[in-house]
């Protein structure tokens, strides 16, 4: 019975991870709240590793959904399409470089110094406001555009719509925005999408490029966390291995639904609803922890 209860807890955690990893609402902010109410019967070392490695399930959703598009060896592709796929991967790697470098240098410090509800709540609110302001700025940009020039270059109405249009310089620029997600509560997808919007991409391209960049970043982060876990002398019990795999499978299945939902949503909507949601969640986090301080 106790094991069943633990699996139910992992189910809830996997659902939260699968949804919040891809929507620009901060999986960290949600996990802090989940951790307040749902405590797995595991060691601190396993829990800290679990929160990162469960993301492997989420990232497999991107691999599955975009396998053909991102597979440069697909027999159905023409030589030109294969070349374009390799170019896409080169842009993904360029975009991932800043987060890889700064992540290795600063991730432990960020977790030690900034992983607390106040920083997370502040990041939720600040980037929520940023989403609202940037979407309003984009709306004015389109309203004032009359010459049909390129949005990304001279203020016209045309956005970058495809990976072929996305330059290496802009891919690197979006990558630097991804570094902001080292601050807990920022949201990796949120920071990269904001970067894409500011640099002139369409909502769809910004979102999909965010998905693509997650592949090397999240695989790397998971591998690093596992290495650190084992270096400390830890190992998996059969119980721990079971809940880790179960959590990854749930995150995978929910992520597929979340990604499809987001891509469909942004075809007819902007990101402002996510901005308002972040602000509300940030206020709730602050309110909850103030209540705990004085309760």
Measured in whole angstroms, the distance separating CA 114 from the mean position of its chain's CA atoms is 18
Report whether pLDDT(66) > 70.
yes
pLDDT in the model for residue 28: 77
How many angstroms separate the CA atoms of 169 and 175, rounded? 10
Report whether pLDDT(29) > 80.
no
Model confidence pLDDT, tens digit, residues 225-274: 899 899 999 889 999 999 999 999 999 999 999 999 999 999 999 999 99
pLDDT in the model for residue 203: 93
**Residue 126: pLDDT band with limits 50, 70, 90:** very high
Per-position DSSP letters for 251-271, written without gaps between them: HHHHHHHHHHHHHHHTTT--S
Number of separate domains in the chain: 1
* pLDDT over 90, % of the chain: 64
Mean of per-residue pLDDT scores for the chain = 89
pLDDT in the model for residue 149: 45
Is the whole-model pTM more than 0.75?
yes
Helix (H) or strand (E) holding 71: none
How many angstroms separate the CA atoms of 152 and 195, rounded? 12
**Residue 121: pLDDT band with limits 50, 70, 90:** very high
Model confidence pLDDT, tens digit, residues 101-120: 998 888 778 877 888 889 99
pLDDT in the model for residue 145: 57
How many angstroms separate the CA atoms of 110 and 80, rounded? 43
3 state SS for 271-295? CHHHHHHHHHHHHHHHHHHHHHHHC
pLDDT in the model for residue 276: 97
Model confidence pLDDT, tens digit, residues 128-174: 999 999 999 988 877 665 444 444 444 445 688 999 999 999 999 99
Q: Give the bridge partners for 237, in sequence order.
A: none
How many angstroms separate the CA atoms of 200 and 205, rounded? 10
20 compared with 146, residue with greater pLDDT: 20
Model confidence pLDDT, tens digit, residues 261-280: 999 999 999 999 999 999 99
How many angstroms separate the CA atoms of 59 and 64, rounded? 9
Domain containing residue 280: 2-294
């Amino acid at each position: 019975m106790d094991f069943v209860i633990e699996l139910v807890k992992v189910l809830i955690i996997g659902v939260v991870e699968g949804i919040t990893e891809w929507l620009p609402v901060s999986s960290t902010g949600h996990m802090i709240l989940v951790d307040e109410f749902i405590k797995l019967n595991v060691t601190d070392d396993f829990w800290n590793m679990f929160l990162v490695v469960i993301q492997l399930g989420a990232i497999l959703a991107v691999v599955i959904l975009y396998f053909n598009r991102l597979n440069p060896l697909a027999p159905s592709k023409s030589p030109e399409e294969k070349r374009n796929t390799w170019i896409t991967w080169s842009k993904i790697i360029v975009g991932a470089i800043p987060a890889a470098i700064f992540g290795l240098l600063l991730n432990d410090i960020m977790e030690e110094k900034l992983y607390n509800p106040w920083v997370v709540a502040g990041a939720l609110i600040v980037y929520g406001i940023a989403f609202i302001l940037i979407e309003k700025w984009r709306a004015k940009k389109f309203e004032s555009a009359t010459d049909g020039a390129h949005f990304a270059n001279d203020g016209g109405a045309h956005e970058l719509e495809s990976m072929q249009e996305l330059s290496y310089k802009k891919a690197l620029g979006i990558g630097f925005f991804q570094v902001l997600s080292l601050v807990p509560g920022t949201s990796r997808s949120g920071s990269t999408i904001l970067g894409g919007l500011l640099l002139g991409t369409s909502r769809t391209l910004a979102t999909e490029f965010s998905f693509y960049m997650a592949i090397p970043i999240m695989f790397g982060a998971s591998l690093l966390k596992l290495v650190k876990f084992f270096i400390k002398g830890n190992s998996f019990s059969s119980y721990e291995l079971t809940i880790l795999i179960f959590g990854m499978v749930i995150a995978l299945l929910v992520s597929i639904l979340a990604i499809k939902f987001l891509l469909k949503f942004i075809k007819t909507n902007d990101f402002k609803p996510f901005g308002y949601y972040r602000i509300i969640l940030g206020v709730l986090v602050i309110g909850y922890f103030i209540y705990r301080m004085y309760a």
